[in-house]
């Protein structure tokens, strides 16, 4: 069977993180079966991994040209592999593909998360007697025996199948779109594209791991309906993206709404294209002091390419609310439901150090990565903030809705150069003192101004500045994003 992913992308670790790939120079059954077991247990819900037999590695990187597997050994290795898989408890069989690379043959094992985890495997499958069975999990780039705490956690995962990998018994495999499935294979350069031309939709769904069950009880998985059905809202009513624009503010009577439907990857592409054409504005910043004239953007598109795919990837499709993007005069607000994983704290987002232990929709993430619509694990927030910083924009602000976790909000401020406002439009402006008006003007001119700089400009004490800014925060006039090196935000009346 051909791999779902392009073999060159796998070797170069373009679409799959390195810790999810193991390179094996030769056929080493004991080590390889321990790795197969660990990937099948998918302890961190990453979608699991791959083993490439016939590929040497150096510091985690594939050595090219590949070592390859002798032609007269390929059938023998596959037969032995299937026999050793029967020693896994319960039995587990990876998907096997023989690939040609650098003029050599190699054996690729695709090892998706097993539906009957947890799995055990002998420490030595080649041992003739006294086999010692252990659970195995991936820890970084290693396949280890879990400690007591990890084993307890692994056992608790038994009934916890991520939503997108669950069977949908209210739908049929016939609800999948054969054309969309083959389009994905074509876009990702999978060798399965050519092989699939003569397949039935049931056969292709099985090859792409989009269905499960016996022939008479074959059902599609939720990921298949989300990504490879013509209209996912037939099965998940909120599976769409809404963009609502308020050119005169949220309280005004004028607004426009765009609803993006179709497969979720098409929704994502269409919504990003709409924002790029209709919302993102550019301005050339000319300066008498420099020959260069940099271009700035109201919202850097690179930031939107991070935040919107993440909303589609991590949202809860069992909720009744869609992904919503609100475009206001001074900011863009992206809301997804029902909130971030409880393991992720507000302070993590504020610090920009995000590492989720487990993912709600691991299969959706895999397919989006193959299409280059999202990046590797834990990279979205840092890349978002970098794109904003490079554009000279204030940083994004996050709200995880602690402790209820009903929603997750990302607020992206518009670049200050695109704000057509004066300070007297700020919230509670009429309730500010004269000195607070002066502070507001300083923040308007320089959103990164420090307390010592304000003390110097206004010739007052630091205590006075602190009291005034605290009062202005209480009134909702201003807020601060970040601490040291952060920025001031002025909030305007709608």
Q: What is the pLDDT of residues 388-404, one digit of tens each?
A: 999 999 999 999 888 88
Instruction: Say whether both 271 and 408 belong to one domain.
Output: yes
Instruction: Say whether both 340 and 205 belong to one domain.
Output: no
Instruction: Say whether both 275 and 358 belong to one domain.
Output: yes
Question: Range of 88's domain?
Answer: 7-160
SS3 label, residue 333: strand
Tell me the percentage of the chain whose pLDDT exceeds 90: 71
Domain containing residue 402: CATH number = 3.30.565.60
Assess if residue 1 is contained within a domain.
Answer: no
Residue 180 has pLDDT above 90, yes or no: yes
Instruction: Say whether both 75 and 154 belong to one domain.
Output: yes
Residue 291 has pLDDT above 70, yes or no: no
Residue 289 has pLDDT above 70, yes or no: no
Q: What is the pLDDT of residues 443-458, one digit of tens each?
A: 987 888 999 999 999 9
Last residue of a domain, one of 178, 201, 230: 230
Assess if residue 47 is contained within a domain.
Answer: yes
Tokens 């007052």 sit at which residue?
460
| Dihedral sign (CA 10, 11, 12, 16) | positive
Assess if residue 91 is contained within a domain.
Answer: yes
Residues 454/465, Cβ–Cβ less than 8 Å: yes
Instruction: Say whether both 186 and 318 belong to one domain.
Output: no
| Dihedral sign (CA 348, 353, 355, 361) | positive
Q: How far apart are CA 469 and CA 20, in angstroms?
A: 49
Q: How far apart are CA 138 and CA 124, in angstroms?
A: 18
Residue 64 has pLDDT above 80, yes or no: yes
Instruction: Say whether both 314 and 453 belong to one domain.
Output: no
Q: What is the pLDDT of residues 470-485, one digit of tens each?
A: 999 999 999 988 767 7
Assess if residue 38 is contained within a domain.
Answer: yes
What ranges in 392-433 are assigned the alpha helix state H? none
- Average pLDDT, stretch 13-23? 88
Last residue of a domain, one of 178, 198, 230: 230
Residue 355 has pLDDT above 70, yes or no: no
Nearest Cα to Cα of residue 454 among 432, 486, 415, 445: 445
Instruction: Say whether both 305 and 407 belong to one domain.
Output: yes
Q: How far apart are CA 94 and CA 82, in angstroms?
A: 9
Assess if residue 236 is contained within a domain.
Answer: no
What would the two tokens of residue 217 be?
């009880």
Instruction: Say whether both 428 and 407 belong to one domain.
Output: no
Mean of all residue pLDDT scores within the chain = 91
- Structurally, how many domains does the chain consist of? 4
Q: How far apart are CA 265 and CA 180, in angstroms?
A: 11
Beta strand 408-413 with 137-139 is unpaired
Domain containing residue 18: CATH number = 3.30.950.30
pLDDT at 229: 98
Residue 161 has pLDDT above 90, yes or no: no
pLDDT at 285: 72
Q: How far apart are CA 466 and CA 402, in angstroms?
A: 27
What is the maximum span of the chain, computed from C-alpha positions, in angstroms?
87
> If pLDDT is split at 50, 70 and 90, which confidence band does 338 have?
confident
Backbone φ and ψ for 92, nearest 5 degrees, come out as -145, 135
Domain containing residue 484: CATH number = 1.10.10.10
Backbone φ and ψ for 403, nearest 5 degrees, come out as -95, 0
Q: Is the peptide bond before 423 cis (omega within 30 degrees of 0)?
A: no
pLDDT at 377: 63
Q: Which residues of 253-290 are buried (b: 16+ CB within 10 A; e: fewer)?
A: eeeeeeebbbbbbebbbbbbeebeeebbeeeeeeeeee
Q: What is the pLDDT of residues 4-13, one digit of tens each?
A: 889 999 999 9
Residues 85/92, Cβ–Cβ less than 8 Å: yes
Instruction: Say whether both 245 and 389 belong to one domain.
Output: yes
Last residue of a domain, one of 209, 230, 251: 230
The pTM of the full predicted model, rounded to 2 decimals, is 0.78
Assess if residue 443 is contained within a domain.
Answer: yes
**DSSP state at residue 106:** E
Assess if residue 95 is contained within a domain.
Answer: yes
> If pLDDT is split at 50, 70 and 90, which confidence band does 306 have?
very high
Of 72-81, 264-273, 442-451, which gets the smallest average pLDDT? 442-451
Assess if residue 81 is contained within a domain.
Answer: yes
């Amino acid at each position: 069977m051909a791999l779902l992913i392009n073999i060159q992308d796998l070797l170069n670790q373009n679409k799959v993180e390195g810790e999810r790939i193991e390179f094996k120079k030769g056929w080493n059954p004991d080590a390889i079966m321990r790795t197969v077991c660990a990937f099948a247990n998918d302890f961190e819900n990453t979608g699991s991994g791959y083993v490439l037999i016939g590929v040497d590695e150096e510091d985690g990187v594939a050595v090219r040209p590949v070592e390859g597997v002798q032609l007269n050994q390929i059938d023998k290795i596959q037969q032995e592999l299937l026999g050793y898989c029967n020693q896994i408890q319960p039995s587990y069989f990876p998907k096997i593909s023989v690939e040609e690379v650098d003029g050599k043959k190699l054996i690729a094992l695709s090892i998706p998360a097993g539906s009957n985890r947890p799995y055990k495997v002998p420490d030595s499958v080649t041992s003739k007697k006294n086999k010692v069975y252990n659970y195995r999990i991936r820890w970084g780039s290693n396949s280890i025996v879990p400690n007591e705490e990890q084993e307890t956690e692994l056992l608790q995962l038994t009934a916890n199948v991520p939503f997108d990998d669950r069977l949908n018994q209210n739908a049929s495999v016939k609800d999948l779109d054969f054309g969309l499935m083959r389009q994905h294979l074509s876009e990702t350069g999978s060798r399965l594209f050519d092989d699939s031309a003569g397949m039935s939709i049931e056969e292709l769904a099985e090859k792409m791991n989009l269905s499960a069950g016996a022939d008479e009880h074959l059902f599609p998985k939720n990921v298949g309906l989300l990504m490879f059905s013509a209209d996912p809202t037939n099965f998940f009513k909120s599976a769409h993206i809404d963009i609502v624009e308020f050119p005169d503010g949220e309280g005004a009577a004028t607004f426009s709404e765009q609803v993006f439907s179709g497969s979720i990857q098409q929704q994502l592409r269409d919504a990003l294209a709409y924002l790029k054409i209709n919302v993102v504005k550019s301005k050339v910043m000319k300066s008498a002091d420099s020959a260069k004239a940099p271009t700035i953007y109201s919202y850097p598109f690179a930031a939107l390419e991070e935040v919107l795919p993440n909303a589609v990837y991590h949202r809860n499709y069992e909720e009744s609310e869609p992904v919503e993007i609100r475009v206001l005069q001074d900011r863009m607000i992206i809301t997804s439901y029902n909130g971030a994983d409880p393991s992720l704290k507000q302070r993590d987002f504020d610090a920009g150090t995000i590492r989720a232990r487990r993912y709600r929709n691991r299969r959706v993430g895999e397919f989006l990565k193959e299409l280059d619509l999202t990046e590797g694990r834990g990279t979205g927030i840092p890349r978002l903030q970098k794109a904003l910083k490079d554009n000279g924009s204030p940083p994004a602000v996050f709200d995880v809705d602690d402790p209820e976790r009903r929603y997750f909000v990302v607020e992206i401020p518009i670049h200050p150069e695109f704000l057509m406002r004066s300070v007297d439009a700020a919230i509670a402006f009429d309730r500010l003192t004269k000195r607070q008006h002066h502070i507001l003007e300083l923040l308007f001119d320089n959103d990164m101004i420090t307390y010592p700089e304000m003390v110097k400009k206004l010739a007052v004490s630091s205590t006075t500045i602190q009291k005034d800014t605290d009062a202005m925060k209480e009134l909702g006039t201003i807020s601060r994003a970040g601490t040291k090196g952060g920025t001031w935000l002025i909030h305007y009346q709608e």
